[in-house]
Amino acid sequence: MITFYSANGPGVPLEDSAACPQLTRDAIWIDLHNPTPEEERVLEAALGIDVPTRAEMQEIELSSRLYKEKDALFMTGTVLLKADTTQPESSVVTFILDSQHLVTVRYADAVPFQAFRIEREKNLKNYQSGYSVFAGLIDAIIDRIADILEGVGTHLDQVSLEVFDASGMNAIATGPAKVPVARHGAKPLQRDYSITLRQIGRISDLISRTRESLVSFGRIISYVREVHMDSAPAHDAVAHLKTVAADLGSLSDHATFLSGKVSFLLDATLGMINNQQNIIIKIISVAAVVFLPPTLVAGIYGMNFHVLPELHWTLGYPFALLLMAIAAVLPYFYFKRKGWL
């Protein structure tokens, strides 16, 4: 679908290909959402440019994402989709910017485009050229990335509380703060960390996609500022993009910080899992030590010797059971007192 946006009106979808040249002349922003090959050909004829195909937009080399053809700049960036779900995705958007129009080519209805359309209808006077529309769209995309990173930070705080939850532990005063430590005899808290690991994995994937988007739009902004450094029509937009570039740098630093926190939480979670496994192995070892002496006693009294003093003793069997119990309990308490358990 092709939607034409003029400087002072709402979007007009293309219903008749014959009207495309007139709509193109009046529009400052032309939005191609899931365009068909026929729609691409009609618009290419009206604009005199080649609209990149979906396959061309997917190419990752810099020369295919940022280039100039005739008087138009072709810039492709990565936007996030479904960031609020458990299966975030990435999609590419191509911006074609010339002195008269901004053309956007996309194959997904990303949240920033929805937000910008609402913002534009509220403040039409602020978007009177393709350059201003381009700057507004970049603003919406960066705002969306900032919201995503803010949500990631909140989610990481929740995961951190789950990983380092002090339930089952007692707090003792150590100076001005209280540090939770395990009391003597406290039962270790067993917990399933598989859900936590999956959460950390999803967060890590979302941060990676966010950083990819930040890098792609950082390159776009630098490219536009370099090409239109001395362009009078694009002066205001370029000046605004300088502020956006600073915001991108801050968001990139924050994404790096969150990535480091994800790595820390992953290491901490794996450490907790390792501790739980050590506790299980410890319990198994204790059980083996506890039952080893009774096994020894049972082995002695199970030997079939002709000369065995207790062989015809009436209390021999109860005595053997009592001796097994004593042999099991004494090592346990001995190890407990030594602090080995």
> Which residues constitute the domain of residue 53?
2-162+194-276
Question: Can you say whether residue 52 is alpha, beta or left, with left for phi > 0 and alpha for psi between -120 and 50 degrees?
Answer: beta
**pLDDT tens, residue by residue, 47-82:** 888 888 888 888 888 878 888 888 888 999 999 888
In a domain, residue 293? The reply is: yes
Residue 67 lies in a domain: yes
- Mean pLDDT confidence for 302-311: 70
What's the gap between Cα 341 and its chain centre? 41
Q: pLDDT digits over 102-149, tens only?
A: 999 999 888 999 999 888 888 888 888 888 899 999 999 999 999 999
For the chain, what is the domain count? 2
| Contact between residue 72 and residue 96 where contact means Cβ atoms under 8 Å apart | yes
Residues 11 and 4: their CA atoms lie apart, in Å, by 5
Tell whether 158 is covered by a domain.
yes
- 3-state DSSP of 222-236: HHHHHHCCCCCCCHH
Bridge partner residues of 27 (DSSP): 6
Both 138 and 86 in one domain: the answer is yes
Q: Which residue has the tokens 């100039």?
A: 68
- Same domain, yes or no, for 305 and 208? no
Residues 305 and 205 both lie in one domain: no
CATH of the domain at 246: 3.30.460.20
Asked if residues 46 and 20 have their Cβ atoms less than 8 Å apart, the reply is: yes
Q: Tell whether 203 and 221 lie within a shared domain.
A: yes
Q: Are residues 270 and 301 in the same domain?
A: no
Closest CA to 216 of 110, 141, 106: 141
CATH code of 308's domain:
1.20.58.340
CA distances from residue 281 to 112, 288, 321 in whole angstroms, order as listed: 52, 11, 28
Average pLDDT of the chain, as a whole number: 82
Residues 239 and 305 in one domain: no
Q: Is residue 182 a part of any domain in this protein?
A: no
Q: Do 326 and 199 reside in the same domain of the chain?
A: no
Asked if 271 and 288 sit in the same domain, the reply is no
Q: Taking a C-beta distance cutoff of 8 angstroms, is the pair 116, 137 a contact?
A: yes
Residues 105 and 229 reside in one and the same domain: yes
Report yes or no: 48 and 42 within 8 Å, Cβ to Cβ. no
CB 268 within 8 A of CB 193: no
The pTM of the full predicted model, rounded to 2 decimals, is: 0.76
Sequential DSSP letters for 71-98: TEEEEEEEEEESTTSSS-EEEEEEEEE-
State the pLDDT confidence band at 259, using cuts at 50, 70 and 90. very high
Q: Are residues 270 and 281 in the same domain?
A: no
Q: In whole angstroms, what is the distance from residue 102 CA to residue 3 CA?
A: 12
Does residue 207 share a domain with residue 310?
no
Within the chain, strands assigned E span 2-6, 11-13, 27-33, 66-69, 72-81, 89-97, 102-106, 170-174, 177-181
From 232, 258, 276, give the residue that closes a domain: 276
Query: Which tens digits make up the pLDDT trace of 14-31?
Result: 887 877 878 888 888 999
What whole-number distance in Å separates Cα of residue 258 and Cα of residue 106? 29
Same structural domain, 282 and 233? no
